[in-house]
Amino acid sequence: MRKIGIPVSRDSLDRFLVAIAVGAFFCLALVFLGATLYDWRMVTLFPDWEQSYEYERYVGILNIIAGSLVSVLLVSLLLCLERRSVSLTRGAVAIVLACAGAIVGAISAGWKGAVTVGMAMIALFQVFLLIELIATRQARSDKATGVEKAGSLLLHCGYAVFVIAVAPLSGSRTQLPVFWAATALIVIGTALSFYGHRIERVAVRLAKGRSSSQA
Amino acid sequence: MILDQYIEARNFLVSLAPFVRISFVILGAAFLGIAVRGWTRHARALTWVAALLAFASFLVIGWFHARIATTINLAPWLGEGQAYRLYAPLWIESEKIFFWFLLFIFASLVFVRRVADGGFLRVWSGLAGVFSLLVAILDPFSNPLPRLHAELLAYAQALASQNGYAVNQLLGKFLFYYNTPYMWTHPPLLFASYALLVTALPAFLLGIRAPMTRLVELESLALGPMKLAYLFLTLGMLVGYPWALEAWRGSAWWWSPKINVSIMMWLLYSTYFHSRLYLGRKGFGRLTMLIGLIAFAALVFTYVTTYLIPGVHSYA
């Protein structure tokens, strides 16, 4: 078993990573709930609140909080995916590279550069893992089939592209094409990760049918 | 603009309202009877009856919408050859709850039909009963599409009095709200998702207190509808994004309450799918069931937020 500072079993590490992802999702959901309740209270007290300077400031603060949590979420999901697909070392290297890319992006083009480069690197890692999955024809590992794993990689790649579409590309001409590409990745990826076993079963049946008809 | 044939079709729908109400009250009572008395062997037959009743009602509603599209010309000055038609979607205003129920019954025909778990069927029947009674109370026949009806009357009056401002405003709403392709994709996908999520709900209600083996069994009953629901929910929300960009350009619409709670709901269902990866492990089973329940509460909150909290995506 690989050691990361303290001896840790693969199972407990996987569970810990999933717990982080669950926690990040839940915290983000709480941010949205809090924002809803706060907005409701403010609109009730001050009907013109959404036209005020305070509202602009409030939106700015929420963007920073939500943006930070989305980053934590994507990094934890990346680590989970890497952990389930390849080794922890490669997962850690991927995250370090993504963070380094984000810092370089931030230095050269501010927060837009950071998000674009960081997310693009996360998306590229998913593509890299997908190519590797196809090249090695890794049929089964853990409980997931090859198609399910490919679907999971595609959908997480889609979310990274989606973040690029909605944040740094906001208002640009490329926003909608990038958004639709992300949507296609997310929907196809989700469908494959949910119904991969069925798709594989149908594919195997079709292949058997073809080989028996040739015989 | 001539509204005679539309008014005739609308009056026909209103004349059917008492029969529809009584049918759904009887249906609701029968479902609740199954839930209370435990006659679960009749649940399947009653689901088919509900599906037939809901589908027949939906056909009548569909006919009414077809009459709106074929008999009303929004631009009478252009003549029939260049008629502007109004394609009112079948899931707006008073039709929302009914459409949700219709999809819930169809989802149940697919996913609950083969369920043999008595406890699950009882809770599901209870939900179906409450849902049927809700349809009886908020039926789409008594006062069909009240807001659209008022808008059509106002539009006819504006045309007659040659009030250009009012004509432009209402015509804009007809063409860019009711007729937009987004209105025909975003809401039905979300309603399909909501219907499937109600279908899965009994598993979470029962699973929260169940021992681990039963909890895993119950969760496997919920998984089929949950997967399809999540797929529809994700696609439905994504399809709404370009529409939001068009409709609310320049505002921070993503922090508007209705959008906020919708994202919150999606996040909670995403939490469920990550938590269930370790369903059989200590702590994760009950946590997953709890997240499923919280996510459903978020779904109800999301629905009522439209009518409760003011914002760009709300009627409050």
Residue A175: predicted pLDDT? 93
Q: How far apart are CA B316 and CA B310, in angstroms?
A: 5
Contact at CB, B241 and A39, closer than 8 angstroms: no
Q: How far apart are CA B248 and CA B285, in angstroms?
A: 41
Phi, psi dihedrals of residue B251, rounded to the nearest 5°: -110, 160
Contact at CB, B271 and A18, closer than 8 angstroms: no
Task: State the smallest CA–CA distance between residue B286 and chain A in angstroms.
Answer: 14
Find chain A residues with C-beta within 8 A of B310's C-beta: 40, 43
Residue B250 contacts by C-beta under 8 Å, 6 or more apart in sequence? none
CB B102 within 8 A of CB B58: yes
pLDDT tens digit sequence for A74-133: 777 766 665 565 566 776 777 788 888 888 888 887 878 888 888 888 888 888 888 887
Phi, psi dihedrals of residue A3, rounded to the nearest 5°: -105, 135
Residue A86: predicted pLDDT? 58
Q: How far apart are CA B9 and CA B62, in angstroms?
A: 11
pLDDT tens digit sequence for B136-156: 999 999 999 999 999 999 999
Crossing angle (nearest 10°) for helices B43-71 and B96-111: 140
Which B residues 223-252 touch A at CB under 8 Å? 227, 230-231, 234-235, 238-239, 241-242, 245, 252
Q: Locate the chain B residue with the closest alpha carbon to A16.
A: B278
Q: What CA dihedral angle connects B33, B38, B39 and B44, to 10 degrees?
A: 90
Q: Using 50, 70 and 90 to split pLDDT, how confident is the model at B9?
A: very high
Q: How far apart are CA A166 and CA A145, in angstroms?
A: 32
Contact at CB, B255 and A26, closer than 8 angstroms: no
CA distances for A174 relative to A27, A115, B237, angstroms:
31, 16, 20
Residue B127: predicted pLDDT? 96
Residue B66 confidence (pLDDT) above 80: yes
State the first-to-last Cα distance of chain A, in angstroms, to the nearest integer.
48
CA dihedral sign of residues B187, B191, B197, B200? negative
Residue A67 confidence (pLDDT) above 70: yes
Query: Would you state the structure tokens that stand for residue B58, as one six-digit string?
Result: 């939906």
Comparing CA positions, the residue from A122, A115, A123 lying closest to residue A169 is A115
Least confident of A49-58, A70-79, B9-18, B75-84: A70-79
pLDDT tens digit sequence for B161-215: 999 999 999 999 999 999 999 999 999 999 999 999 999 999 999 999 999 999 9
Residue B23 confidence (pLDDT) above 60: yes
Residue B80: predicted pLDDT? 64
Domains of chain B, by residue range, sit at: 1-179, 181-316
Q: How far apart are CA A115 and CA A164, in angstroms?
A: 7
Comparing CA positions, the residue from A135, A134, A99, A92 lying closest to residue A115 is A99
Beta bridge partners of A4: A6
Query: Would you state the structure tokens that stand for residue A168, as one six-digit string?
Result: 């740094």
Phi, psi dihedrals of residue A144, rounded to the nearest 5°: -85, 145
Q: How far apart are CA A208 and CA B140, in angstroms?
A: 51
- Indicate which of B216, B277, B279 best probes the interface with A, i.e. most A CBs within 10 Å of its own CB: B277
Q: In angstroms, how far is CA A94 from the centroid of its own chain? A: 14
Q: What is the ipTM of this complex?
A: 0.90
Task: State the smallest CA–CA distance between residue A203 and chain B in angstroms.
Answer: 21
Query: Would you state the structure tokens that stand for residue A9, as one six-digit string?
Result: 């079993």
CB B263 within 8 A of CB A35: no
Percent of chain B with pLDDT over 90: 80
In 10 A of CB B78, how many CB atoms? Answer: 11
Q: Using 50, 70 and 90 to split pLDDT, how confident is the model at A4?
A: very low
Size of interface A-B (CB pairs under 8 A): 88
CB B119 within 8 A of CB B128: no
Q: What CA dihedral angle connects B112, B115, B116 and B121, to 10 degrees?
A: -30
pLDDT tens digit sequence for A137-158: 655 455 567 888 889 889 989 9
Q: Locate the chain A residue with the closest alpha carbon to B287.
A: A22
Task: State the smallest CA–CA distance between residue A55 and chain B in angstroms.
Answer: 10
Q: How far apart are CA A129 and CA A190, in angstroms?
A: 17
Find chain A residues with C-beta within 8 A of B297's C-beta: none
CB B132 within 8 A of CB B31: yes
- Indicate which of B185, B230, B232, B241 best probes the interface with A, i.e. most A CBs within 10 Å of its own CB: B241
Residue B25: predicted pLDDT? 97
CB B69 within 8 A of CB B88: yes
Contact at CB, A36 and B261, closer than 8 angstroms: yes
Residue A6: predicted pLDDT? 38
Residue A8 confidence (pLDDT) above 60: no
Q: How far apart are CA A124 and CA A156, in angstroms?
A: 11
pLDDT tens digit sequence for A170-201: 889 999 999 999 999 999 999 999 998 888 88
Q: How far apart are CA A109 and CA A184, in angstroms?
A: 28
Comparing CA positions, the residue from B247, B196, B243 lying closest to residue B223 is B196
Residue B300: predicted pLDDT? 95
Residue B194: predicted pLDDT? 97
Comparing CA positions, the residue from B286, B230, B287, B275 lying closest to residue A22 is B275
Mean pLDDT (chain B) is 93
Which B residues 26-85 touch A at CB under 8 Å? none
pLDDT tens digit sequence for B26-44: 999 999 999 999 888 899 9
Least CB-CB distance to B278: which of A15, A58, A183?
A15
Residue A5: predicted pLDDT? 37
Q: How far apart are CA B150 and CA B148, in angstroms?
A: 5
In chain A, which ranges are continuous DSSP H helix?
A: 10-45, 53-85, 88-136, 146-166, 175-214
Residue B275 confidence (pLDDT) above 80: yes
Comparing CA positions, the residue from B297, B264, B289 lying closest to residue B204 is B289
Q: Is B283 left (phi over 0), alpha (psi -120 to 50) or beta?
A: left
The pTM score is 0.91
Residue A7 confidence (pLDDT) above 60: no
Q: Locate the chain A residue with the closest alpha carbon to B225.
A: A194
Q: How far apart are CA A27 and CA A50, in angstroms?
A: 25
Mean pLDDT (chain A) is 81
